Amino acid sequence: MIVMIQIYGLKNCDRCRAAQKWFKAQGLETRFHDVRQDGFPVKAAKGWVAALGAESVVNRRSTTWRQLPPAHRAPDMTPSETLALLGEYPALLKRPVMEIDDRVFIGFNDTVKAEITRALESHS
């Protein structure tokens, strides 16, 4: 079973590192894209927003969010406004974002791990 796992996040993010470590423990290879250093992946992000909704990709609990000017913190942003904001402030991305084939997972907790495990089992 060959599965391509792409992880987007920040290299110093604890959850991103935990996800990489977990996949490695499962014997799976990943590719990591640092949204700050490597650039914000607008094309991929359009897919995330289409699949999961604009609200799902923005971390509204982050320090970056709290420091934004009030005009940037609209509660009902359109997908294009969300993508523009993430392009300007990549640290606002809810992390990690993981693409496994044509599926997208955001965050890294027990629920997400279980969803990923089920998705991976469907490849066997």
CATH number of the domain that 14 lies in?
3.40.30.10
Q: Which residues are known to be catalytic?
A: 13
pLDDT in tens, the chain (124 residues): 567 899 999 999 999 999 999 999 999 999 999 999 999 999 999 999 999 998 899 999 999 999 999 888 887 888 999 999 999 999 999 999 999 988 999 999 999 999 999 998 887 6
Domain count, the chain: 1
Q: Is the dihedral of CA 77, 79, 81, 86 positive or negative?
A: positive
**Domain enclosing residue 9, as ranges:** 5-121
Q: Residue 57 class from Cβ within 10 Å (0-12 exposed, 13-18 middle, 19+ buried)? A: buried
pLDDT score recorded for residue 74? 80
pLDDT recorded at residue 52? 92
